[in-house]
């Protein structure tokens, strides 16, 4: 299909760096998830980056998933003709494997050094579409299911974006610590603003863990694969989402404090009887929702 650039205005350049090398093409054409090993995937990443003269950038969280077992478990979640959004296709290995089992993959990549290789896979398969832009600026069509080995530095912002833009389902690889925050229960050390925000809108399940050696080059932390499925009955209306976001931010900046004091001192509202004596980190999602409704009632 096509490879578009948004924001950055270059049209597709055909220079000596254009990826036309026959062995790169055949590398992709022969990709078969059932025949790949971790060693072979690392070798492919090394060959592709070398051939295409790509220098990996730590600041963009460029750690490629090279664990065929994990990839198999991820792509098992695709149902036939689904349309998929991949945030950060990079050198396109996962993108290509996704395209073999789904209807359409739209890849959104920030780093222009992957343009040639991504252009090439668009030519090889007619169900891959690439947009070169920052995923945080890309409006996510809500009929797309997100699959992404997320660059760790944008994880929280991108998840907040999923909430705001109504993403229905996302299967994401995130830092283990973030996975723990996403699934944390009230009263636990990992429970915070992100847990409340996400659990209000999604059923969240940690599917499995992935060690750091499943990535090339390996990051400094382990990861987990998490499934977010939009709740059909979110506990709060989108109309008050902005209030919800502000209130949860404020509350959890005082996570160990008594709820009554925080509400009185910073929001000027009386604590509901059932929340008297609780500390912020003990508030359930429903408790936070009831506070947001109180605050929204005062504003309206």
Binding site for ligand SAH (CB under 6 A): 60-65, 87-90, 93-94, 108-111, 134-136, 149, 151, 154
C-alpha to C-alpha distance for 202 and 235, rounded to whole angstroms: 10
- Whose Cβ is closer to ligand SAH: residue 68's or residue 89's? 89
281: tokens are 């980190």
For the bound state, the minimum distance from the C-beta of residue 165 to ligand SAH, rounded and expressed in Å, comes to 15
- Whose Cβ is closer to ligand SAH: residue 85's or residue 285's? 85
Pairing state of beta strands 104-109 and 83-87? parallel
For the bound state, the minimum distance from the C-beta of residue 204 to ligand SAH, rounded and expressed in Å, comes to 21
Pairing state of beta strands 64-65 and 215-216? antiparallel
- Whose Cβ is closer to ligand SAH: residue 135's or residue 251's? 135
282: tokens are 């003990």
For the bound state, the minimum distance from the C-beta of residue 89 to ligand SAH, rounded and expressed in Å, comes to 5
C-alpha to C-alpha distance for 291 and 244, rounded to whole angstroms: 9
For the bound state, the minimum distance from the C-beta of residue 169 to ligand SAH, rounded and expressed in Å, comes to 18
C-alpha to C-alpha distance for 16 and 198, rounded to whole angstroms: 46
C-alpha to C-alpha distance for 88 and 95, rounded to whole angstroms: 9
21 to each of 16, 17, 282, how far by Cα in Å? 11, 10, 58
- Whose Cβ is closer to ligand SAH: residue 32's or residue 286's? 32
- Whose Cβ is closer to ligand SAH: residue 93's or residue 275's? 93
Phi/psi at 148 (nearest 5 deg)?
A: -160, 135
For the bound state, the minimum distance from the C-beta of residue 109 to ligand SAH, rounded and expressed in Å, comes to 5
- Whose Cβ is closer to ligand SAH: residue 106's or residue 240's? 106
Residue with the CB atom nearest ligand SAH in the bound state: 88
Pairing state of beta strands 169-175 and 223-230? antiparallel
For the bound state, the minimum distance from the C-beta of residue 99 to ligand SAH, rounded and expressed in Å, comes to 13
């Amino acid at each position: 299909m096509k490879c578009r650039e948004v924001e950055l205005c270059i049209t597709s350049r055909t220079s000596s760096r254009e990826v036309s090398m026959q062995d790169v093409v055949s590398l992709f054409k022969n990709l078969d998830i059932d025949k790949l090993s971790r060693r072979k995937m690392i070798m492919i990443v090394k060959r592709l980056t070398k051939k295409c003269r790509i220098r990996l950038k730590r600041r963009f969280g460029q750690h490629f998933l090279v664990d065929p077992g994990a990839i198999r478990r991820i792509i098992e979640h695709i149902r036939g003709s689904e349309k998929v959004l991949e945030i950060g296709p990079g050198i396109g290995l996962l993108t290509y494997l996704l395209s073999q089992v789904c209807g359409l993959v739209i890849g959104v990549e920030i780093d222009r050094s992957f343009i040639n290789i991504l252009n090439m896979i668009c030519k090889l398969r007619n169900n891959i579409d690439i947009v070169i832009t920052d995923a945080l600026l890309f409006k996510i069509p809500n009929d797309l299911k997100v699959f992404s080995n997320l660059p760790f530095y944008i994880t929280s912002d991108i998840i907040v974006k999923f909430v705001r833009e109504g993403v229905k389902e996302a299967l994401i690889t995130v830092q283990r610590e973030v996975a723990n925050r996403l699934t944390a229960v009230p009263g636990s050390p990992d429970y915070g603003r992100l847990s409340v925000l996400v659990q209000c809108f999604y059923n969240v399940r940690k599917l499995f863990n992935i060690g750091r050696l499943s990535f090339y080059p390996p990051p400094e932390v382990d990861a987990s694969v998490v499934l977010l499925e939009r709740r059909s009955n979110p506990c709060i209306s989108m109309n008050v989402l902005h209030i919800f976001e502000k209130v949860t931010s404020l509350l959890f900046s005082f996570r160990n404090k008594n709820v009554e004091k925080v509400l009185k001192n910073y929001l000027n509202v009386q604590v509901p009887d059932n929340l008297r004596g609780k500390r912020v980190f003990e508030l359930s999602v429903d408790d936070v929702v009831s506070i947001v409704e109180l605050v929204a009632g005062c504003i309206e």
